[in-house]
């Protein structure tokens, strides 16, 4: 099998969510595995000077419209969340712990449930209760997930993962790297697919 | 005929250039006219706090790669210009003057020639000689174009046009507004086409 696809995303990123609904199917069509890497865009923006889209004058209003229109265009369920953007440390650390305890498949199932809870059901995923509820619905021990997410080693690991991502040039969500080729944005998935198909663009 | 498409672009924007190679054909397929509006992103960024892509850490390096890869993906001739980004006031004002003196069709021909000179032939379009040469090749009186571009009324008009664009929510290049619906980026031309085809998304 060819190299895995590295898929970076922040749980508060609508375009990351859109990408999360497609990446595994896309990869499977070209016989690739996907490694899912939760990011903290807040930490990344400290380096790049980035600002969450909705906070930029003019761009902010447009961004909300683009989230909704893009969701309709691609046929992806989406409801504008009541709180946006929000802190995603807890969700990201919970996912890392689920991977350690239960492996990649369960971690991806959990990540997809977090994204749906936030962008379809309007849960406040910065909240411990919300993450516990998602863990429960995913068939996990809720207390174990929360304890694991708040443990020092998992906190350290997330920090190290985000640093490693930035050192590879990752600066946004979604961000994909495959065979050394970087793709930023769900709107580059057409180019990503061409790259997977032809090995170059 | 339906409402015209308003097409906003900065002459220093690679994605604006890509869009300029497609917008008239796209519009014609749906029986729409295009009004071309040169922008000054520098003035817009004063309002939005925006920064030219190549100057953002991490994002900057990626941006150059994305310009080239997108050009290949869409089959659009592109050479990374020696000077980038650069001031586009003179090019924008020259275009406004050509429109006043010779009408929309000639102004668009001139604009396309400016984009090609910059993104294919590597001319420094901030330079008076370069704009004069482009005007000459487009069959215009070079001295008249330069004098017109530097006249007070044309300077005032460009300022007013940029303010009017921002008051409509324009914040980047390319930016399209049709029937009140805004589209930012060449990577939204698929959604723009769907909107033209179905009247909604």
CB atoms A48 and B57 under 8 Å: yes
- Any CB–CB contact under 8 A between B184 and chain A? yes
For residue A190, list chain B residues with Cβ-Cβ distance below 8 A: 73
Beta pairing partners, A177: A6, A182
Write down the pLDDT at residue A2: 84
Query: With contacts defined as CB-CB under 8 Å, which chain A residues touch B69?
Result: 191, 201
Rounded CA-CA distance A122/A86 in Å is: 12
Q: What is the SS3 string spanning B92-157?
A: HHHHHHHHHHHCHHHHHHHHHHHHHHHHCCCCCCCCHHHHHHHHHHCCCCHHHHHHHHCCHHHHHH
- Closest-CA distance, B103 to chain A, in angstroms, reads 31
Tokens of A13: 């990123």
What is the nearest CA distance from A44 to chain B, expressed in angstroms?
10
CB contact under 8 A, B47 and A61: no
DSSP B22: T
Task: Please tell me the distance from the alpha carbon of residue B62 to that of residue B80, in angstroms, as a whole number.
Answer: 13
- Backbone φ, ψ for residue B185 (5° rounding): 100, 145
Residues in Cβ contact with A75 at an 8 Å cutoff, skipping those fewer than 6 apart = none
Fold of B5-198: Glutaredoxin (3.40.30)
Model confidence, pTM: 0.95
Please state whether beta strands A34-38 and A175-178 pair in parallel, antiparallel, or not at all (unpaired): unpaired
Contact B57 A169 (CB under 8 A): no
ipTM of predicted assembly, 2 dp: 0.94
| Contact list, A182 vs chain B (CB under 8 Å) | 62, 65
User: A193 pLDDT exceeds 70?
Assistant: yes
B79/A contact by beta carbon, under 8 A: no
pLDDT of chain B along its 201 residues, tens only?
689 999 999 999 999 999 999 999 999 999 999 999 999 999 988 888 777 777 888 888 899 999 999 999 999 999 999 999 999 999 999 999 999 999 999 999 999 999 999 999 999 999 999 999 999 999 999 999 999 999 999 999 999 999 999 999 999 999 999 999 999 999 999 999 999 999 999
Q: What is the separation of C-alpha B105 from the centre of its chain, rounded to a whole number of angstroms?
A: 15
Q: Which token pair is B132?
A: 């004069």
φ/ψ of residue A164, rounded to 5: -65, -40
Model confidence band, residue A37 (pLDDT cutoffs 50, 70, 90): very high
Q: Write the residue in A48, A62, A166 that is nearest to B56 by C-beta.
A: A48
Banded model confidence at residue A80, pLDDT cuts 50, 70, 90: very high
């Amino acid at each position: 099998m060819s190299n895995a696809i590295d898929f970076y995303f922040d749980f508060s990123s609508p375009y990351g969510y859109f990408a999360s609904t497609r990446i595994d199917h896309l990869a499977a069509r070209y016989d690739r595995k996907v490694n899912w890497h939760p990011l903290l865009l807040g930490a990344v923006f400290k380096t790049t000077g980035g600002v969450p889209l909705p906070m930029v004058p003019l761009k902010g209003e447009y961004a909300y419209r683009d989230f909704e229109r893009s969701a309709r265009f691609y046929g992806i369920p989406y409801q504008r969340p009541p709180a946006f953007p929000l802190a995603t440390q807890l969700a990201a650390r919970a996912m890392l712990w689920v991977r350690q305890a239960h492996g990649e498949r369960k971690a991806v199932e959990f990540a997809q449930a977090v994204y749906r809870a936030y962008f379809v059901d309007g849960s406040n995923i910065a909240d411990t209760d919300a993450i516990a509820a998602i863990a429960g619905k995913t068939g996990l021990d809720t207390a174990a997930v929360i304890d694991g997410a708040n443990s020092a080693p998992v906190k350290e690991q997330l920090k190290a993962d985000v640093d490693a991502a930035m050192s590879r040039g990752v600066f946004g969500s979604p961000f994909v790297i495959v065979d050394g080729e970087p793709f930023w944005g769900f709107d580059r998935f057409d180019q990503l697919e061409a790259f997977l198909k032809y090995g170059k663009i």
